[in-house]
Structure 1
Amino acid sequence: MRTPPGSSDPDQTRRDIQQTRAELGETVAALTAKTDVKTRARTKATTAVGGLRQRVTQASQSAKTKATQLARTMSQKASQRAKPVSQKAQHASAAVRDSAKAGAQNTGKAKSTLVSSARTATTKIGSSVRAKPAPVLAAAGTAATLAVMAYRRRLQK
Protein backbone atom coordinates (compact mmCIF):
# COMPACT_ATOMS: atom_id res chain seq x y z
CA MET A 1 0.00 0.00 0.00
CA ARG A 2 1.31 3.40 -0.88
CA THR A 3 1.58 6.18 1.55
CA PRO A 4 0.19 9.53 0.62
CA PRO A 5 2.74 12.16 -0.36
CA GLY A 6 4.15 13.98 2.55
CA SER A 7 3.93 11.03 4.91
CA SER A 8 6.70 10.83 7.38
CA ASP A 9 7.22 7.04 7.68
CA PRO A 10 10.66 6.36 6.08
CA ASP A 11 10.25 2.54 6.15
CA GLN A 12 7.03 2.77 4.23
CA THR A 13 8.66 5.07 1.72
CA ARG A 14 11.53 2.59 1.19
CA ARG A 15 9.09 -0.24 0.64
CA ASP A 16 7.17 1.84 -1.88
CA ILE A 17 10.40 2.63 -3.70
CA GLN A 18 11.40 -1.06 -3.79
CA GLN A 19 7.96 -2.05 -5.06
CA THR A 20 8.06 0.64 -7.72
CA ARG A 21 11.55 -0.47 -8.76
CA ALA A 22 10.35 -4.11 -9.02
CA GLU A 23 7.35 -3.09 -11.13
CA LEU A 24 9.54 -0.91 -13.28
CA GLY A 25 12.02 -3.82 -13.70
CA GLU A 26 9.23 -6.15 -14.80
CA THR A 27 7.96 -3.55 -17.25
CA VAL A 28 11.44 -3.03 -18.70
CA ALA A 29 11.94 -6.81 -18.98
CA ALA A 30 8.60 -7.16 -20.79
CA LEU A 31 9.48 -4.36 -23.20
CA THR A 32 12.94 -5.85 -23.79
CA ALA A 33 11.42 -9.25 -24.54
CA LYS A 34 9.03 -7.70 -27.07
CA THR A 35 11.78 -5.79 -28.82
CA ASP A 36 14.29 -8.70 -28.83
CA VAL A 37 13.60 -9.94 -32.35
CA LYS A 38 16.54 -12.37 -32.37
CA THR A 39 15.32 -14.29 -29.31
CA ARG A 40 11.71 -14.33 -30.56
CA ALA A 41 12.91 -15.68 -33.92
CA ARG A 42 14.95 -18.39 -32.19
CA THR A 43 11.95 -19.37 -30.11
CA LYS A 44 9.75 -19.64 -33.20
CA ALA A 45 12.45 -21.60 -35.04
CA THR A 46 12.90 -23.98 -32.13
CA THR A 47 9.15 -24.54 -31.99
CA ALA A 48 9.00 -25.12 -35.75
CA VAL A 49 11.93 -27.54 -35.67
CA GLY A 50 10.32 -29.48 -32.86
CA GLY A 51 7.11 -29.75 -34.86
CA LEU A 52 8.99 -30.90 -37.95
CA ARG A 53 10.92 -33.50 -35.99
CA GLN A 54 7.70 -34.86 -34.60
CA ARG A 55 6.18 -35.05 -38.10
CA VAL A 56 9.28 -36.76 -39.49
CA THR A 57 9.26 -39.29 -36.64
CA GLN A 58 5.59 -40.04 -37.24
CA ALA A 59 6.13 -40.37 -41.00
CA SER A 60 9.11 -42.66 -40.43
CA GLN A 61 7.15 -44.90 -38.10
CA SER A 62 4.25 -44.97 -40.54
CA ALA A 63 6.57 -45.87 -43.42
CA LYS A 64 8.21 -48.65 -41.41
CA THR A 65 4.82 -50.08 -40.51
CA LYS A 66 3.63 -49.97 -44.11
CA ALA A 67 6.88 -51.51 -45.37
CA THR A 68 6.59 -54.35 -42.86
CA GLN A 69 2.99 -55.00 -43.86
CA LEU A 70 3.89 -54.90 -47.55
CA ALA A 71 6.79 -57.30 -47.01
CA ARG A 72 4.51 -59.76 -45.23
CA THR A 73 1.91 -59.50 -47.97
CA MET A 74 4.50 -60.02 -50.71
CA SER A 75 6.00 -62.98 -48.86
CA GLN A 76 2.61 -64.61 -48.53
CA LYS A 77 1.80 -64.03 -52.21
CA ALA A 78 5.20 -65.36 -53.27
CA SER A 79 4.79 -68.54 -51.24
CA GLN A 80 1.28 -69.01 -52.64
CA ARG A 81 2.56 -68.65 -56.18
CA ALA A 82 5.59 -70.84 -55.55
CA LYS A 83 3.53 -73.89 -54.56
CA PRO A 84 2.11 -74.59 -58.05
CA VAL A 85 5.52 -73.97 -59.62
CA SER A 86 7.12 -76.39 -57.18
CA GLN A 87 4.50 -79.01 -57.98
CA LYS A 88 5.05 -78.54 -61.72
CA ALA A 89 8.79 -78.89 -61.22
CA GLN A 90 8.30 -82.13 -59.30
CA HIS A 91 6.09 -83.49 -62.07
CA ALA A 92 8.62 -82.44 -64.70
CA SER A 93 11.51 -84.05 -62.82
CA ALA A 94 9.49 -87.26 -62.49
CA ALA A 95 8.83 -87.18 -66.23
CA VAL A 96 12.53 -86.62 -66.93
CA ARG A 97 13.46 -89.53 -64.66
CA ASP A 98 11.00 -91.76 -66.46
CA SER A 99 12.36 -90.63 -69.83
CA ALA A 100 15.91 -91.22 -68.64
CA LYS A 101 15.04 -94.75 -67.59
CA ALA A 102 13.43 -95.42 -70.95
CA GLY A 103 16.40 -93.80 -72.69
CA ALA A 104 18.83 -95.93 -70.70
CA GLN A 105 17.10 -99.03 -71.93
CA ASN A 106 17.32 -97.77 -75.51
CA THR A 107 20.87 -96.55 -74.96
CA GLY A 108 22.11 -100.08 -74.71
CA LYS A 109 21.01 -100.63 -78.29
CA ALA A 110 22.37 -97.29 -79.43
CA LYS A 111 25.61 -97.88 -77.56
CA SER A 112 26.29 -101.09 -79.39
CA THR A 113 25.52 -99.38 -82.71
CA LEU A 114 27.81 -96.47 -81.77
CA VAL A 115 30.63 -98.81 -80.75
CA SER A 116 30.42 -100.75 -83.98
CA SER A 117 30.45 -97.57 -86.11
CA ALA A 118 33.42 -96.23 -84.07
CA ARG A 119 35.31 -99.47 -84.74
CA THR A 120 34.56 -99.18 -88.42
CA ALA A 121 35.81 -95.56 -88.48
CA THR A 122 38.96 -96.53 -86.56
CA THR A 123 39.70 -99.28 -89.07
CA LYS A 124 39.28 -96.89 -92.01
CA ILE A 125 41.47 -94.22 -90.38
CA GLY A 126 44.12 -96.79 -89.52
CA SER A 127 44.32 -98.05 -93.09
CA SER A 128 44.54 -94.48 -94.50
CA VAL A 129 47.31 -93.60 -91.99
CA ARG A 130 49.27 -96.67 -93.02
CA ALA A 131 48.92 -95.67 -96.64
CA LYS A 132 50.03 -91.98 -96.13
CA PRO A 133 51.57 -91.43 -92.65
CA ALA A 134 53.23 -88.02 -93.27
CA PRO A 135 50.08 -85.81 -93.30
CA VAL A 136 48.70 -87.55 -90.23
CA LEU A 137 51.97 -87.14 -88.33
CA ALA A 138 52.13 -83.44 -89.27
CA ALA A 139 48.55 -82.88 -88.10
CA ALA A 140 49.25 -84.76 -84.84
CA GLY A 141 52.40 -82.68 -84.23
CA THR A 142 50.51 -79.45 -84.86
CA ALA A 143 47.74 -80.51 -82.49
CA ALA A 144 50.27 -81.43 -79.81
CA THR A 145 52.04 -78.07 -80.19
CA LEU A 146 48.76 -76.17 -79.89
CA ALA A 147 47.83 -78.18 -76.80
CA VAL A 148 51.18 -77.36 -75.14
CA MET A 149 50.79 -73.66 -75.94
CA ALA A 150 47.27 -73.58 -74.51
CA TYR A 151 48.48 -75.35 -71.37
CA ARG A 152 51.29 -72.80 -70.87
CA ARG A 153 48.89 -69.89 -71.31
CA ARG A 154 46.64 -71.30 -68.60
CA LEU A 155 49.60 -71.64 -66.28
CA GLN A 156 50.64 -68.02 -66.88
CA LYS A 157 47.21 -66.64 -66.00
Structure 2
Amino acid sequence: MSTPSGNSDQTRRDIQQTRAELGETVAALTAKADVKTRARTKATTAVGGLRGRVTGAGQSAKARATQLARTMSQKASQRATSVRQKSQHTIGTVRGSAEAGAQTASKAESSLVTSARAMTTRIGSSVRAKPLPVLAVTGTAATLAVISYRRRRSR
Protein backbone atom coordinates (compact mmCIF):
# COMPACT_ATOMS: atom_id res chain seq x y z
CA MET A 1 0.00 0.00 0.00
CA SER A 2 1.97 2.85 -1.18
CA THR A 3 0.64 6.31 -1.18
CA PRO A 4 1.47 8.86 -3.71
CA SER A 5 4.27 11.13 -2.56
CA GLY A 6 1.91 14.13 -2.60
CA ASN A 7 -0.30 12.44 0.00
CA SER A 8 2.58 11.42 2.22
CA ASP A 9 3.99 14.95 2.16
CA GLN A 10 0.57 16.32 3.03
CA THR A 11 0.21 13.77 5.84
CA ARG A 12 3.61 14.75 7.25
CA ARG A 13 2.68 18.41 7.19
CA ASP A 14 -0.62 17.64 8.92
CA ILE A 15 1.25 15.64 11.56
CA GLN A 16 3.75 18.46 12.10
CA GLN A 17 0.95 21.02 12.34
CA THR A 18 -0.94 18.83 14.81
CA ARG A 19 2.23 18.40 16.90
CA ALA A 20 2.80 22.16 16.92
CA GLU A 21 -0.79 22.83 17.98
CA LEU A 22 -0.55 20.12 20.65
CA GLY A 23 2.70 21.71 21.92
CA GLU A 24 1.03 25.12 22.16
CA THR A 25 -1.94 23.58 23.98
CA VAL A 26 0.37 21.82 26.45
CA ALA A 27 2.33 25.06 27.01
CA ALA A 28 -0.90 26.96 27.67
CA LEU A 29 -2.13 24.30 30.10
CA THR A 30 1.25 24.28 31.84
CA ALA A 31 1.12 28.07 32.23
CA LYS A 32 -2.39 27.84 33.70
CA ALA A 33 -1.37 25.06 36.05
CA ASP A 34 1.72 26.97 37.28
CA VAL A 35 -0.03 28.67 40.21
CA LYS A 36 3.23 29.80 41.80
CA THR A 37 4.34 31.79 38.75
CA ARG A 38 0.86 33.25 38.23
CA ALA A 39 0.72 34.33 41.89
CA ARG A 40 4.21 35.85 41.66
CA THR A 41 3.23 37.76 38.51
CA LYS A 42 0.05 39.02 40.12
CA ALA A 43 1.96 40.08 43.26
CA THR A 44 4.59 41.87 41.17
CA THR A 45 1.86 43.73 39.30
CA ALA A 46 0.12 44.69 42.55
CA VAL A 47 3.39 45.91 44.10
CA GLY A 48 4.12 47.99 40.99
CA GLY A 49 0.69 49.57 41.16
CA LEU A 50 1.06 50.26 44.87
CA ARG A 51 4.48 51.82 44.34
CA GLY A 52 3.02 54.06 41.67
CA ARG A 53 0.21 55.19 43.94
CA VAL A 54 2.57 55.80 46.88
CA THR A 55 4.95 57.74 44.67
CA GLY A 56 2.05 59.77 43.29
CA ALA A 57 0.74 60.47 46.79
CA GLY A 58 4.21 61.53 47.95
CA GLN A 59 4.64 63.84 44.99
CA SER A 60 1.17 65.26 45.49
CA ALA A 61 1.82 65.88 49.20
CA LYS A 62 5.17 67.47 48.41
CA ALA A 63 3.62 69.74 45.79
CA ARG A 64 0.82 70.70 48.16
CA ALA A 65 3.29 71.40 50.99
CA THR A 66 5.40 73.53 48.68
CA GLN A 67 2.32 75.41 47.55
CA LEU A 68 1.19 75.98 51.14
CA ALA A 69 4.67 77.13 52.16
CA ARG A 70 4.72 79.58 49.27
CA THR A 71 1.25 80.84 50.15
CA MET A 72 2.12 81.26 53.83
CA SER A 73 5.34 83.07 52.92
CA GLN A 74 3.45 85.42 50.61
CA LYS A 75 0.82 86.14 53.26
CA ALA A 76 3.48 86.80 55.89
CA SER A 77 5.29 89.11 53.49
CA GLN A 78 2.04 90.93 52.66
CA ARG A 79 1.23 91.40 56.33
CA ALA A 80 4.74 92.65 57.08
CA THR A 81 4.46 95.08 54.17
CA SER A 82 1.08 96.26 55.43
CA VAL A 83 2.43 96.81 58.93
CA ARG A 84 5.47 98.58 57.53
CA GLN A 85 3.30 100.88 55.40
CA LYS A 86 1.03 101.68 58.33
CA SER A 87 4.05 102.36 60.49
CA GLN A 88 5.57 104.61 57.85
CA HIS A 89 2.25 106.43 57.47
CA THR A 90 2.06 106.85 61.23
CA ILE A 91 5.64 108.12 61.29
CA GLY A 92 4.83 110.67 58.58
CA THR A 93 1.72 111.82 60.41
CA VAL A 94 3.55 112.11 63.70
CA ARG A 95 6.39 114.04 62.06
CA GLY A 96 3.93 116.49 60.49
CA SER A 97 2.19 117.06 63.81
CA ALA A 98 5.46 117.40 65.66
CA GLU A 99 6.80 120.05 63.29
CA ALA A 100 3.64 122.11 63.80
CA GLY A 101 3.65 121.60 67.54
CA ALA A 102 5.80 122.89 70.34
CA GLN A 103 8.68 121.35 72.24
CA THR A 104 6.33 118.86 73.90
CA ALA A 105 5.07 117.71 70.54
CA SER A 106 8.65 117.29 69.42
CA LYS A 107 9.34 115.03 72.41
CA ALA A 108 6.18 113.02 71.70
CA GLU A 109 7.19 112.69 68.07
CA SER A 110 10.58 111.40 69.01
CA SER A 111 9.06 108.87 71.34
CA LEU A 112 6.45 107.72 68.83
CA VAL A 113 8.92 107.59 65.95
CA THR A 114 11.27 105.50 68.05
CA SER A 115 8.55 103.13 69.15
CA ALA A 116 7.12 102.88 65.62
CA ARG A 117 10.57 102.13 64.20
CA ALA A 118 11.23 99.63 66.95
CA MET A 119 7.86 98.00 66.30
CA THR A 120 8.51 97.89 62.55
CA THR A 121 11.95 96.41 63.12
CA ARG A 122 10.65 93.93 65.67
CA ILE A 123 7.81 92.75 63.42
CA GLY A 124 10.07 92.47 60.37
CA SER A 125 12.82 90.66 62.22
CA SER A 126 10.40 88.30 63.97
CA VAL A 127 8.93 87.26 60.62
CA ARG A 128 12.42 86.74 59.18
CA ALA A 129 14.01 85.25 62.30
CA LYS A 130 11.23 82.83 63.19
CA PRO A 131 9.96 81.12 60.08
CA LEU A 132 9.10 78.19 62.34
CA PRO A 133 5.39 79.09 62.65
CA VAL A 134 5.17 79.25 58.85
CA LEU A 135 6.96 75.89 58.58
CA ALA A 136 4.75 74.40 61.30
CA VAL A 137 1.61 75.47 59.47
CA THR A 138 3.06 74.09 56.23
CA GLY A 139 3.96 70.76 57.86
CA THR A 140 0.53 70.51 59.45
CA ALA A 141 -1.17 71.26 56.16
CA ALA A 142 0.95 68.64 54.37
CA THR A 143 0.12 66.06 57.04
CA LEU A 144 -3.58 66.85 56.76
CA ALA A 145 -3.39 66.57 52.98
CA VAL A 146 -1.77 63.10 53.23
CA ILE A 147 -4.32 61.94 55.83
CA SER A 148 -7.18 63.24 53.72
CA TYR A 149 -5.76 61.52 50.63
CA ARG A 150 -5.41 58.21 52.46
CA ARG A 151 -8.93 58.40 53.83
CA ARG A 152 -10.35 59.07 50.39
CA ARG A 153 -8.37 56.17 48.91
CA SER A 154 -9.45 53.73 51.64
CA ARG A 155 -13.18 54.29 51.02
Q: What TM-score, normalized to structure 2?
A: 0.49
Over alpha carbons, which structure has the higher Rg? 1
Q: What TM-score, normalized to structure 1?
A: 0.49
